[in-house]
Amino acid sequence: MQHLLILFFATFSAAFMATVPPGLLNMNAAKTSVEKGKLNGIIFSLGVSSMVLIQAYVGVIISKFLYKNPDVVEVLLKIAVVIFALLAIYFFRAARLNAVKVAKKVNVSKRNSFFKGFLLAGVNLLTIPYYSGLNAMWNASGWIKFQITDILTFVLAAGFGTFSVLYMYTVYFNKLENKTNRFSKNSNYILSALMVVLLVITIYRISNQ
């Protein structure tokens, strides 16, 4: 039970941090709330989170396959080094530029709010490799095993972590709107630091194989 709590908290935190920077999904959740009401914003957020549940599960399946094929893992770890380095530079530059992404207009009705969020989340191709990498990291740390309880905990934590941020954007955006630049800058610095940490861990794993 203790390792499930650690797994949930670690995955929830990772999902939370990945969703915090202003982007297409969270800014559309806020925009939907402002234009169509908070209920629609919450329904939109539920659609996004539902897709994240599926993507996190697919990430687990990929991670399980890689775990059983160490030769493939070695190659992907080297690729991961490049990816983490590029992401670290990207988030650092975004923080320095303090650029805030402008939300694209999305016309949402009560009937299709959920599916709009579901489909927009599905367009984000980085989610699956992100959760696949996280799952592999947690597995190497001994926080997760490929058992049904662990997998469910991981997937649910990813969904709840995503939804909690979208809910904040939906409910509190009017209060946060004036602080968006600083909010974006700080979150991007944190993500850049996280990418550096993952880069160091990945290099360490490669050197000790």
Q: What are the tens digits of pLDDT across the range 118-146? A: 998 888 777 888 888 888 778 776 777 88
**Average pLDDT for residues 147-174, to the nearest whole number?**
90
**Average pLDDT for residues 60-73, to the nearest whole number?**
78
Judge contact between 107 and 115, C-beta under 8 A: no
Whole-number Å distance between alpha carbons of 175 and 200: 37
Q: Please give the distance of CA 177 from its chain centroid, rounded to a whole number.
A: 22
Binned at pLDDT 50, 70 and 90, residue 82 comes out as: confident
Planar angle of CA 38, 107, 57, nearest 5 degrees:
75
Judge contact between 98 and 181, C-beta under 8 A: yes
Residue 126: how many other CB atoms lie within 10 Å:
11
**Most distant pair of Cα atoms in the chain: their distance:** 54
Task: Give pTM, 2 decimals.
Answer: 0.69
pLDDT of residue 58: 93
Judge contact between 189 and 20, C-beta under 8 A: no
For residue 181, pLDDT over 70 is answered with no
Binned at pLDDT 50, 70 and 90, residue 42 comes out as: very high
For residue 35, pLDDT over 50 is answered with yes
Whole-number Å distance between alpha carbons of 152 and 107: 33
More confident of the two residues 99 and 157: 157
